Amino acid sequence: MARLFERRLTPKDSPLVILATTTTAFFSAMFVTSFLFLSYGASPFQAYFALFHEPFATLRGFGYSLVRASPLALIGLGTIVSWRSGFSYLGFEGCFVIGAAATSWLALLMAPGAIIGPLPFFLFLPLAILFAFAAGGVWAGLVGIVRARMGGNEVLISLMSNYVAIFILQYLVSGPMRAPGSLPETRLLPRNTWLPFLLAGTRAHAGILIAIAAAGLVWMLLQKMPLGYELLVTGFNPLAARYAGIDVARHLVLAAFFAGGLGALAGMVEVLGSQHRLMDGISSGVGFVGIVVALLARLNPLAVIPTALLYGGMSVGADAMQRRASIPSSVTFILQSLAVLLVLIFDALRYYRMNFDFWRRKPPTVAERVSN
Amino acid sequence: MNGSPHLGSAFVVTWLSASLALAGPVLLAALGETFAERSGVLNVGIEGTMLLGALTSFLASYYTGMVWTSLLIAMLVGIIANVFLAWMYVTVRASQVVAGLVFNVLALGVASTVYRRAMGNSAVPENIAMFHPLHIPVISNLPLIGPALFGQTILFYLTLMLAFVAHFILFRTTFGLALRASGENPAAADSAGISVYRMRYAGTLISGAAAGMAGGYLVLAQVGLFRESIVSGQGFIALGIVIFGRWNPLKAAIAALVFGACDALQLSLQIFGTRVPPQLLLALPYVVTILAISGLFGGKAVQPAALMSPYVKD
Residue-wise pLDDT tens digits, B77-102? 999 999 999 999 999 888 899 999 99
- In chain B, what residues touch A341 (CB-CB under 8 Å)? 88, 99, 102-103, 106
Chain B: nearest CA to A291, how far in angstroms?
9
Look at residue B290 and give its three-state secondary structure.
helix
Look at residue A282 and give its three-state secondary structure.
coil
**What are the tens digits of pLDDT across the range A57-109?**
999 999 999 999 999 999 999 999 999 999 999 999 999 999 999 999 999 98
ipTM reported for the complex, 2 dp: 0.85
> How far is residue A147's CA from residue A130's CA, in Å, rounded to a whole number?
25
- In chain A, what residues touch B280 (CB-CB under 8 Å)? 167, 171
Which domains are assigned to chain B?
Answer: 13-302 (1.10.3470.10)
In this prediction, residue B300 has a pLDDT band, given cuts at 50, 70 and 90, of low
Q: What are phi and psi of A298, to 5 degrees?
A: 55, 35
Chain A: nearest CA to B296, how far in angstroms?
6
Query: Is the residue at A35 inside a domain?
Result: no
Cβ contact B98–A174 (<8 Å): no
Cβ contact A292–B105 (<8 Å): yes
pLDDT of residue A365: 67
Q: Which residues of B168-192 are buried (b: 16+ CB within 10 A; e: fewer)?
A: ebbeeeeebebbbbbbbbbeebbee
Let me know if A266 is exposed, middle or buried by CB neighbors in 10 A (0-12, 13-18, 19+).
buried
Cβ contact A156–B295 (<8 Å): no
Cβ contact A332–B109 (<8 Å): yes
pLDDT of residue B117: 84
A14–B contact, CB cutoff 8 A: no
Boundaries of domain holding A137: 66-301
Q: Quick check: A54 pLDDT over 90? A: no
pLDDT of residue B289: 80
Among candidates B311, B85, B256, B304, which has minimal Cα distance to A153? B304
Chain A: nearest CA to B143, how far in angstroms?
36
B120–A contact, CB cutoff 8 A: no
Query: Is the residue at A52 inside a domain?
Result: no
Q: Quick check: B3 pLDDT over 50? A: no
- On whether the CB atoms of residues A265 and A54 are closer than 8 A, the answer is no
Cβ contact A328–B240 (<8 Å): no
> How far is residue B40's CA from residue B196's CA, in Å, rounded to a whole number?
9
pLDDT of residue B100: 94
The residue of chain A nearest to residue B295, with distances taken between CA atoms, is A152
Scanning A285-344 for CB atoms below 8 A from B yields 285, 288-289, 291-292, 295, 328, 330-338, 340-341, 344
Write out the DSSP string of B187-244.
HHHHHTT--HHHHHHHHHHHHHHHHHHHHHHIIIIII-S--TTSSTTHHHHHHHHHHH
Chain B: nearest CA to A352, how far in angstroms?
13
> How far is residue A210's CA from residue A296's CA, in Å, rounded to a whole number?
21
Bridge partners (DSSP) listed for residue A197: A205
> How far is residue A27's CA from residue A105's CA, in Å, rounded to a whole number?
43
- In chain B, what residues touch A332 (CB-CB under 8 Å)? 109
- On whether the CB atoms of residues A205 and A273 are closer than 8 A, the answer is yes
A348–B contact, CB cutoff 8 A: yes
Q: Which of B4-8, B125-129, B252-256: highest mean pLDDT?
A: B252-256
Counted domains in chain A: 1
Query: Is the residue at A146 inside a domain?
Result: yes
pLDDT of residue A45: 87
B97–A contact, CB cutoff 8 A: yes
Cβ contact B94–A328 (<8 Å): no
Mean pLDDT of B243-272: 85
A171–B contact, CB cutoff 8 A: yes
Query: Is the residue at A281 inside a domain?
Result: yes
Query: Is the residue at A338 inside a domain?
Result: no
Q: What's chain B's length in residues?
A: 314
- Interface probe for A, chosen from B37, B114, B294 (most Cβ of A below 10 Å), is B294
pLDDT of residue B7: 63
Of A164, A331, A337, the CB nearest to B286: A164
- On whether the CB atoms of residues B266 and B278 are closer than 8 A, the answer is yes
> How far is residue B47's CA from residue B211's CA, in Å, rounded to a whole number?
8
In this prediction, residue A149 has a pLDDT band, given cuts at 50, 70 and 90, of confident
Cβ contact B290–A157 (<8 Å): yes
pLDDT of residue A300: 93
pTM given for the model: 0.88
Mean pLDDT of chain A: 88
> How far is residue A116's CA from residue A110's CA, in Å, rounded to a whole number?
6
DSSP-H helix ranges across A40-58 = 44-57
**What are the tens digits of pLDDT across the range B202-222?**
999 999 999 999 999 999 998
The residue of chain B nearest to residue A287, with distances taken between CA atoms, is B105
Of A90, A171, A330, the CB nearest to B277: A171
The residue of chain B nearest to residue A33, with distances taken between CA atoms, is B110
- On whether the CB atoms of residues A195 and A273 are closer than 8 A, the answer is yes
pLDDT of residue B89: 94
